[in-house]
């Protein structure tokens, strides 16, 4: 592989945030997201996201103690007798929160609402409300979610 000459950097994938959006005259097929990113980039993004979840798992198993707890996350286990993933919740301030499970993550912002990302698919899904969902332990029981309905929801 050849090196990039000093002073030259590869061109960014997108010049502006709006380049991620479909053309204005492109119709939205029902509530399906337009293909905003090339398939190869979505695949790579999914791999990176999956790896990040693996790394968080290593942070939990750290011999010096659970790094997520050390960084302020609160751990919640499934109720006795129920199977599932522990939930790690971090309140960033009074208006924002992050929840990590082994199968996905939730980000809530009082001004913008909630977002859910599966560990296995790089597709952002909107969640009604910004409050961290309670009682979610399995990937088959994530918070109620939906795909963004149009450009205004895709990039507020």
* 6 or 144, greater pLDDT: 144
pLDDT-wise least confident of 1-15, 20-34, 57-71, 118-132: 20-34
Residue 106 pLDDT exceeds 60: yes
How much is the pLDDT for 36? 62
In tens, the pLDDT along 13-61 reads 333 333 333 333 232 233 344 446 678 888 888 899 999 999 999 999 9
Q: Which residue has the higher pLDDT, 1 or 74?
A: 74
Averaged pLDDT, 3-7 = 40
> How many C-alpha atoms does 51 have within 13 Å on its Cβ side?
6
Q: In angstroms, rounded to a whole number, what is the distance separating the alpha carbons of residues 19 and 2?
A: 29
Asked whether residue 11 carries a pLDDT value surpassing 70, the answer given is: no
CA distances from 125 to 21, 76, 95, 153 (A): 16, 23, 19, 11
Segment (H or E) for 128? none
Higher pLDDT, 6 or 111: 111
pLDDT band, very low/low/confident/very high, at 150 (cuts 50, 70, 90): low
**Cβ–Cβ under 8 Å, residues 22 and 151:** yes
Checking if the pLDDT of 3 tops 60, the result is no
Closest listed residue to residue 154, CA positions, set 28, 19, 21: 21
Q: What is the CA radius of gyration of the chain?
A: 18
Q: What is the pLDDT of residues 126-140, one digit of tens each?
A: 888 888 888 889 988
């Amino acid at each position: 592989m050849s090196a990039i000459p000093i002073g030259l950097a590869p061109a960014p994938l997108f010049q502006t945030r709006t380049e991620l959006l479909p053309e204005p005259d492109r119709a939205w097929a029902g509530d399906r997201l337009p293909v905003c990113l090339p398939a190869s980039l979505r695949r790579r993004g999914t791999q990176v996201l999956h790896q990040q979840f693996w790394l968080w798992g290593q942070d939990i198993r750290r011999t010096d103690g659970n790094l997520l707890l050390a960084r302020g996350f609160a751990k919640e286990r499934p109720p006795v007798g129920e199977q599932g993933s522990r939930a790690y919740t971090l309140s960033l301030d009074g208006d924002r929160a992050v929840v990590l499970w082994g199968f996905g993550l939730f980000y809530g912002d009082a001004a913008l609402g909630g977002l859910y990302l599966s560990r296995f698919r790089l597709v952002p899904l909107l969640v009604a409300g910004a409050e961290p969902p309670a009682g979610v332990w399995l990937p088959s029981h994530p918070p109620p979610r939906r795909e963004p309905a149009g450009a205004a929801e895709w990039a507020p």
